[in-house]
């Protein structure tokens, strides 16, 4: 069999002024053959994510060589990486966060096809076919990430990753956010794709039992090095906290930060009074913003769009904004109403009924009366004066609550 990926003597040292240099990866070598499922396992801080970031060229190497299909990609940058990513794609840990919450799944899958020359209509049709290949109906192209389960969203993420027929698929903790039953279904899907499309996998995980069950071969990393099979570390079982523990950790974090003067102003953000991130708040409150630079996204005058990711095209047309903008999407009133609700509810202060009426000329309860009534009764939402916001209970199931506001 041919070698798809070869990492030779990879080292990554982070240099800090006034501090001792830190070597995160120390002389790591391995290869992945065509059709193989290679697992890399290790606890947090072992260096496995740094290895992946070097392979995908998100991080420069300090020394060593990376070869993909025999080609040295160690120093590839910018436009050169477009050809690299045709052969190598990645599936991330948290599926819902790997998709833009404002765009439908079909658009997210089709984007990579469009970037490689396919027309938008053809790309949307292809996205539906890819979803069917990954066990979802093609109608899921019209759904938003909030409208599907974690397992369904991860299937969509896999569909997006295989859209351009890569030689190598890197799965970075791709099943760790899913329950055991869904994990099994995703692994069965990956095995099916391996057989049908001759896929090659680099599987990054913390769960030894899962890796041993799924992978053909396993490497264990510890303190930046690959350690031998049979060491005490190999026998050690690592598990993510269960849902109850995650709940307590989330609430304890809020309590501890509160003691130090940090208030929670958004589901996952804390700050001292008056020091909240203005860009962050503007995003959730749908303030117009203009993205500058390669691939930057914008919301302007009821339109969403992004800049080209092609450096030459961007520089050559920098004096003509319309020529560097792509993926133009005109938002309907229904789109904007839904965004007003599911983005605004991420803020702990919630959404203003008066602001809704002022912006849309309609009463919020006339549009979302039944949804509001449902979640008030379930204790997920609460109303105080003019504002509607998630309760503490609602925050923990926020994706499910927000999905109900999609018209």
The CATH number covering residue 16 comes to: 3.40.50.300
Ramachandran assignment for 134, one of left (phi > 0), alpha (psi -120 to 50 degrees), beta (any other): alpha
Query: Which stretch of 45-49, 172-176, 345-349, 388-392 has the lowest confidence by average pLDDT?
Result: 172-176
Say which residue, 347 or 235, is predicted with more confidence: 347
Among 235, 264, 282, give the residue marking a domain's end. Answer: 235
Asked if residue 310 belongs to a domain, the reply is: no
User: Are 215 and 337 within one domain?
Assistant: no
Do the Cβ atoms of 31 and 1 come closer than 8 Å? Answer: no
pTM over 0.75: no
pLDDT in tens, 74-124: 988 877 888 888 899 888 877 677 788 888 888 888 888 888 888 988 988
Among 189, 215, 235, give the residue marking a domain's end. Answer: 235
Do the Cβ atoms of 375 and 394 come closer than 8 Å? Answer: yes
Interstrand relation of 303-307 and 325-330 (parallel, antiparallel or unpaired): antiparallel
Asked if residue 68 belongs to a domain, the reply is: yes
| 209 pLDDT more than 80 | no
User: Are 195 and 338 within one domain?
Assistant: no
Other CB atoms within 10 Å distance of the CB of residue 149: 14
- pLDDT at residue number 16: 61
Asked if residue 276 belongs to a domain, the reply is: no
| 230 pLDDT more than 50 | no
Asked if residue 18 belongs to a domain, the reply is: yes
Query: Which stretch of 16-20, 80-84, 124-128, 248-252 has the lowest confidence by average pLDDT?
Result: 16-20
pLDDT > 70 in the chain, percent: 93
pLDDT in tens, 340-364: 998 899 999 999 999 999 999 999 9
User: Are 96 and 208 within one domain?
Assistant: yes
- Work out the pLDDT band at 238, boundaries 50, 70, 90: very low
- pLDDT at residue number 352: 95
Query: Which stretch of 99-108, 134-143, 227-236 has the lowest confidence by average pLDDT?
Result: 227-236
Q: Which of 34-43, 105-114, 360-369 has the highest mean pLDDT?
A: 360-369
- pLDDT at residue number 307: 85
- Work out the pLDDT band at 386, boundaries 50, 70, 90: very high
| 229 pLDDT more than 70 | no
Asked if residue 364 belongs to a domain, the reply is: yes
- Work out the pLDDT band at 72, boundaries 50, 70, 90: very high
Spatial separation of the C-alpha atoms in residues 63 and 68, rounded to whole Å: 17
Q: What's the 3-state SS for 247-259?
A: HHHHHHHHHHHHH
Do the Cβ atoms of 171 and 201 come closer than 8 Å? Answer: yes
User: Are 218 and 347 within one domain?
Assistant: no
- pLDDT at residue number 329: 79
- pLDDT at residue number 242: 65
Among 207, 235, 263, give the residue marking a domain's end. Answer: 235
Sign of the Cα torsion 123, 94, 326, 52 reads negative
User: What's the rounded mean pLDDT across residues 177-206?
Assistant: 82
In total, the chain counts a number of residues equal to 407
User: Are 366 and 222 within one domain?
Assistant: no
- pLDDT at residue number 349: 94
Question: How many domains does the chain fold into?
Answer: 2
Asked if residue 247 belongs to a domain, the reply is: no
Residue 228 vs residues 232, 271, 286: alpha-carbon distances, Å: 10, 44, 52
User: Are 229 and 338 within one domain?
Assistant: no
Domain CATH for 353: 1.10.10.920
SS3 assignment, position 37? strand
Structure-token pair, residue 155: 């299937």
User: Are 231 and 336 within one domain?
Assistant: no
pLDDT in tens, 258-309: 999 999 999 889 999 999 988 888 888 888 988 888 778 888 998 888 888 7
Query: Which stretch of 5-9, 178-182, 315-319 has the lowest confidence by average pLDDT?
Result: 178-182
Asked if residue 256 belongs to a domain, the reply is: no
Do the Cβ atoms of 257 and 251 come closer than 8 Å? Answer: no
* CA nearest to 114, candidates 126, 105, 123, 125: 123
User: What's the rounded mean pLDDT across residues 314-324?
Assistant: 88
Do the Cβ atoms of 173 and 93 come closer than 8 Å? Answer: yes
- Please state, rounded to an integer, the average pLDDT across all residues of the chain: 85
pLDDT > 90 in the chain, percent: 27
Do the Cβ atoms of 339 and 377 come closer than 8 Å? Answer: no
Do the Cβ atoms of 2 and 71 come closer than 8 Å? Answer: no
Q: Which domain holds residue 18?
A: 3-102+166-235
Asked if residue 347 belongs to a domain, the reply is: yes
């Amino acid at each position: 069999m041919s070698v798809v990926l070869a990492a030779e003597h990879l080292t990554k040292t982070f240099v800090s002024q006034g501090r001792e240099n830190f070597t995160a990866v120390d002389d790591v070598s391995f290869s992945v053959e065509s059709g193989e499922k290679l697992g890399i396992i290790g606890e947090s801080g072992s260096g496995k994510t740094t290895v992946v970031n070097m392979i995908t060229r998100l991080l420069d190497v300090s020394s060593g060589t990376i070869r993909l299909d025999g080609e040295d990609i160690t120093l590839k940058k910018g436009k050169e990486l477009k050809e690299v990513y045709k052969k190598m794609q990645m599936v991330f840990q948290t599926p819902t966060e790997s998709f833009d919450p404002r765009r439908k799944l079909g658009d997210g899958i089709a984007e990579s096809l469009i970037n490689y020359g396919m027309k938008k209509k053809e790309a949307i049709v292809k996205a539906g076919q890819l979803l069917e290949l990954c066990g979802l109906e093609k109608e899921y192209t019209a759904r938003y990430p909030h409208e599907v389960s974690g397992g369904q969203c991860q299937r969509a993420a896999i569909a997006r990753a295989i859209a351009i027929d890569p030689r190598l698929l890197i799965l970075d903790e791709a099943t760790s956010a899913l329950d055991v039953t869904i994990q099994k279904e995703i692994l069965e899907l990956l095995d099916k794709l391996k057989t049908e499309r001759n896929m090659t996998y680099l599987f990054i995980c913390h769960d030894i039992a899962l890796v041993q069950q799924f992978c053909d071969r396993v490497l264990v990393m510890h303190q930046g090095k690959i350690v031998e099979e049979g060491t005490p570390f190999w026998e050690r079982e690592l598990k993510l906290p269960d849902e109850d523990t995650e709940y307590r950790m989330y609430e304890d974090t809020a309590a501890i930060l509160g003691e130090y003067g940090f208030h929670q102003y958004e589901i996952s953000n804390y700050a001292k009074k008056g020091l909240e991130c203005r860009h962050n708040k503007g995003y959730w409150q749908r303030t117009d913003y203009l993205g500058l630079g390669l691939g930057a996204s914008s919301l302007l005058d009821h339109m969403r769009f992004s800049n080209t990711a092609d450096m030459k095209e961007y520089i050559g047309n920098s004096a003509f904004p319309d020529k560097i903008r792509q993926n133009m999407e005109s938002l309907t009133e229904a789109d904007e109403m839904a965004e007003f609700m599911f983005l605004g509810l991420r803020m702990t202060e919630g959404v203003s009924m008066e602001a809704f009426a002022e912006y849309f000329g309609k009463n919020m309860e006339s549009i979302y009366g039944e949804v509001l009534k449902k979640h008030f009764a379930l204790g997920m939402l609460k109303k105080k004066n003019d504002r509607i916001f998630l309760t503490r209970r609602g925050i923990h199931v926020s994706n499910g609550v927000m999905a109900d506001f999609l018209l």
